[in-house]
Structure 1
Amino acid sequence: MNALTPTFSYQFAASDCGGLRTRVRQAEVTFRASGAMWVAAERALVVADLHLEKGSSYALRGQMLPPYDTRETLNRLEAEVSATAAEVVILLGDTFHDRKSEERLAADDAERLRALAAGRRLIWVIGNHDADGPQALPGETADELELSGLTLRHEPQAGHQPGEVAGHLHPAAKVRAPRGTVRRRCFVTDGERAILPAFGAYAGGLNVRDAAFAGLFVRPPLAGALGPSRVRAVGWKQLAHD
């Protein structure tokens, strides 16, 4: 890839979320510092790859992790729903870490997911980890859906996919800086499509310079690296390999 082609513009949103407001095709979106994408025209909040109950899944295989990932992830999701007053919440696949995760949910966590569907649309996009979708929880399920001219699906498709918004790859940016490098989860977009960072507390990140991202973008993409309170726009030349 060559230098970033300036055929589209970015600017930081003038909002408390510290987000990066931009366009994916013709849809105006805000990449929020939480890792959620906000589509104001639809009052829709989009989050990818929550991987709920990943901790309990690992525990079943003998790898003991603190069992608080679901609680922490739902805390952050509820805070985003409250902050945006979202009328639509879209879970962009791999909401559960495996097909038995829903059975392992604590009763209060299941109730919190039910509450998310109260008074708003809750849409579960199917991912590769949760192909059966929710069994006892409310909401709609979909393989993909259209929203403000965007196509929302879990796994990005190969080749030119204008308007696609996906998750699955858990993008992360390793950013060169004068005092070294820093690695952060990130959004990644070329203005034609976007890939969202994983929202889950225990979800990892794949460097955007990994071969898995090759061929997905028509121009060198820009990363929106997540900081504690804002999203930093990072050009392709500033991004390092792991």
Structure 2
Amino acid sequence: MVPVSFAFDFCGQEFVLTRANAVYWPAERALLVADLHLEKASFFARHGQLLPPYDSRETLERLADAVRRFDARRVITLGDNFHDSHGSTTLEAHAAGMLSALTRATDWVWITGNHDPSMEAQSGGAIAKELEVGGVILRHMAKRGETRPELSGHFHPRVQLKIHHRHIRRPCAVIGHNDDGCGRMILPAFGALTGGMNAADPAILKAMQPVSAVDALVPTEKKLARFPLWREDSFPHAHASA
């Protein structure tokens, strides 16, 4: 099944958010993903908590599907690519082969995060702490006080939606914006074995400042839903709680 996706405007440019939690940037032919947390299961296994060791393969399969779907020329990951800096050395052969094929087929950049600050590009690609592309800063964690357009990850944002008396948790993108429509965006976590954080959590709202408003974007079956999380001199809306 092809994941549902929707275009939206960010700082005067078109971006596309998919239900698979990837963002595509048509002007740069770039696929953006955050928080893959590859080899998370093997990390926990080394520390005595046994989990099925297939999370990396599932994550890379979904990533390969997104690259093919958009015919992406570039892939830029926004940190916490592996669950620890040594994760690239523990990939099983099939997953390692998938990753090598992806990095050979695209202009691939790993932006490092707090989980993998000293990772090595064992399977190809380039490594950077942060990157500027098309006037947009790409980094792992939103930098409070940043006034330039910025894309980041780190927080794994989610919203809880109440639909027909049911509470449904969904990953989301979080956009902080000013009156001119420009600001910052936090991507949802892409990895198969990642949890989520309340999109209206004070830590996220503070990280997005200075902006005049913060919204959550949630791709549904039929549309890209926008939920207000914060406005100047107001509190987070209850319907966007975790």
Q: Shorter-chain TM-score category?
A: 0.7 to 0.9
1:33 matched to 2:24? The reply is no
> 2:215 maps to what in 1?
222
Larger strand fraction of residues: 2
TM-score of the superposition, structure 2-length normalised? 0.86
Letter in 1 for 2:15: V
Letter in 2 for 1:77: L
1:200 matched to 2:186? The reply is no
- TM-aligned CA deviation for residue 220 of structure 1: 3.0
Q: d(CA) in 1 for partners of 2:62 and 2:222?
A: 13
Unpaired runs of 5+ in structure 1? 1-15
Retained in 2: the 8 A contact 1:33–1:231? no
1:131 matched to 2:117? The reply is yes
Q: d(CA) in 2 for partners of 1:227 and 1:134?
A: 36
Q: d(CA) in 1 for partners of 2:72 and 2:78?
A: 15
SS of 1:214's partner is: helix
Which structure would you say has the larger RCO, counting Cα contacts within 8 Å and 6 or more residues apart?
1
> 2:36 maps to what in 1?
50
- TM-aligned CA deviation for residue 228 of structure 1: 6.7
Residues 1-242 of structure 1 aligned to structure 2 (within 5 Å): 17-191=3-177, 192-215=183-206, 216-217=208-209, 218-227=211-220, 231-236=224-229, 237=237, 239-242=239-242
Relative distance call for 1:94 and 1:228 in structure 2 (3 A) is farther
Q: CA RMSD in A?
A: 1.9
Q: d(CA) in 2 for partners of 1:148 and 1:32?
A: 21
Relative distance call for 1:30 and 1:234 in structure 2 (3 A) is same
Deviations 1:95-147 (A, max 9, x none): 10012211211122111111112232011111111111324221111111112
- TM-aligned CA deviation for residue 54 of structure 1: 0.3
Deviations 1:11-60 (A, max 9, x none): xxxxx753232222233211122111110011100000000010111111
Retained in 1: the 8 A contact 2:205–2:214? no
SS of 2:174's partner is: strand
Q: d(CA) in 2 for partners of 1:66 and 1:173?
A: 27
SS of 1:89's partner is: strand
Retained in 2: the 8 A contact 1:143–1:153? yes
Relative distance call for 1:108 and 1:17 in structure 2 (3 A) is closer
SS of 2:97's partner is: helix
Relative distance call for 1:71 and 1:226 in structure 2 (3 A) is farther
Relative distance call for 1:160 and 1:122 in structure 2 (3 A) is closer
Retained in 2: the 8 A contact 1:54–1:69? yes
Q: d(CA) in 2 for partners of 1:202 and 1:113?
A: 17
Larger CA deviation: 206-215 vs 67-76: 206-215
Q: d(CA) in 2 for partners of 1:160 and 1:102?
A: 31
SS of 1:110's partner is: helix
Q: d(CA) in 1 for partners of 2:222 and 2:63?
A: 15
Letter in 2 for 1:211: P
- TM-aligned CA deviation for residue 199 of structure 1: 0.3
Unpaired runs of 5+ in structure 2? 178-182, 230-236
Larger CA deviation: 193-202 vs 93-102: 93-102
